[in-house]
Every structure is written in C-alpha cells, then in structure tokens.
Chains A and B, each alone.
Chain A
Amino acid sequence: SQQGEEDPQALSIQEGENATMNCSYKTSINNLQWYRQNSGRGLVHLILIRSNEREKHSGRLRVTLDTSKKSSSLLITASRAADTASYFCATRGGYFGNEKLTFGTGTRLTIIP
C-alpha cells in the first residue's frame, strides 16, 4: 500500500511560475526523497532530505520536512516546460536495514509554455 499521499494530484502552471507540491506520510522515517517520472527518462532521483534536516536546496528545488506533522513539500522555482512530469515523494523507513522506499501517490505537474 502507498505510504502517504501527495497533493495536489494535478497542477498546471505557466512557465516561469513556481510550483509547490506536498507530501504526507504515516510512519517514522530515516529520510525522504523526491523523484520525477516522465515518459522520456523514467524515474529519476531529485533530492534527499534526512529526518534530522528541515530544509534542503538543490538548484531550483527546495525541499522542506516537518517530522512532527509527517509532511514534506517540494518547491520548484522558475518552472520550465521540461519540468512537466509526475513527482513522487518516497520515504525510507526508520529502522536499521530497511532500505525499501515507500512512494506516495504522485503529483502530475504540467508547465504551460
């Protein structure tokens, strides 16, 4: 079963605008990761944030993590047409040896040129 949910399920914005998507999860985690999936390149890792971190940046991406609320957000600034894809958060469990990722339901992002 899916670990959690993402919202919105779908988002359409104009090129150049910022896109924010949210993720909620249910159990304790070691880290939370965001992945992008499109038909051309498959599922690609974007960024990882550890459970003891609150915010992380990578290029035009900003991720926040609130473990008390079991939620995370991904902000993409200055969006481009190439950012059109589905975005998934994925959590890695908090106990030793548990490497599997549990994915959310995803947000479909469409950037309108």
Chain B
Amino acid sequence: GAGVSQSPRYKVAKRGQDVALRCDPISGHVSLFWYQQALGQGPEFLTYFQNEAQLDKSGLPSDRFFAERPEGSVSTLKIQRTQQEDSAVYLCASSLGWGTEFSEQYFGPGTRLTVT
C-alpha cells in the first residue's frame, strides 16, 4: 500500500525566501508528525497533529515556522524568511493513534532543504 509521501524531495531556497513542504500521510492515520534532521544527527521533533488539531508545537524553532493540517489529512510545513540554519532534512511521519499499540510511526522519505 501507499506509504507517507513528501514533496518536494529537494528544495533549494535563497536566504529570505518562504518555502512550503507538503506531507501526505497514510490514509486513515490520525496522528501526523514533523521532524527536522540535521546532518549526522537524529531527527528532532517539531510539531504534531491529531486529526486537524495541532496538539504540540513545542519543537518549532521560531515563529518563522508554521504547520497546518486543515482537513486532518495532508499537512504543510511552512518556513518564512528562510535562514541558512534551516538547512536540514524535514521528515514527516504518521501513526494510527495515541495508544501504545499505535506508537509505531511511519516516515516519509523527507524533504532536503538547502538554504543558500
């Protein structure tokens, strides 16, 4: 079956530009997560949604980062006025729900963002 998809796979932005990264979760998955992964590091949590509700955005590094999931399915992570330190791979993941038995997260291939 279809997994989590993300687009674009690669994005090069000039410093100061706005970017929008898209995530299509697995159909029927209630929870959706965004992570940021710097080179050589583990993923770091940014934000997560349960259906359309954004329940935790504690990992967003600044108010330049904004995420939405208006209909409880597709999500968009937007970064305004990109800076060089935003260069990273942005991973999206989804899971069935919040019980322990649903904890496994399914990750997309990521969007590699390079800010020049």
Interface size class of A (residues with CB under 8 A): 20 to 34
Greatest chain B CB density within 10 A among A2, A45, A101 is at: A101
In the complex, A43 has a CB within 8 A of chain B: yes
Give the number of residues in B that approach A within 8 Å (Cβ atoms): 26
* Bound form: Cα–Cα A34–B59 in Å: 21
B31 engages A31 (CB within 8 Å): no
In the complex, B95 has a CB within 8 A of chain A: yes
Which of B14-22, B40-48, B69-77, B78-86 lines the interface with chain A?
A: B40-48
* Bound form: Cα–Cα A27–B94 in Å: 24
Given contacts A43-B107, A92-B103, contact A100 B41 (CB under 8 A): no
Quick one: closest B residue to A47, CB to CB? B104
- A-B contacts counted at CB < 8 A amount to 62
In the complex, B105 has a CB within 8 A of chain A: yes
B105 engages A101 (CB within 8 Å): yes
Greatest chain A CB density within 10 A among B43, B55, B56, B106 is at: B43
**A1-24 interface (Cβ within 8 A of B):** 1-2
| A6 nearest CB across to chain B (Å) | 8
A42 engages B103 (CB within 8 Å): no
Residues of A within 8 A of B (CB): 1-2, 30-31, 33, 35, 42-45, 48, 50, 88, 90, 92, 97-106
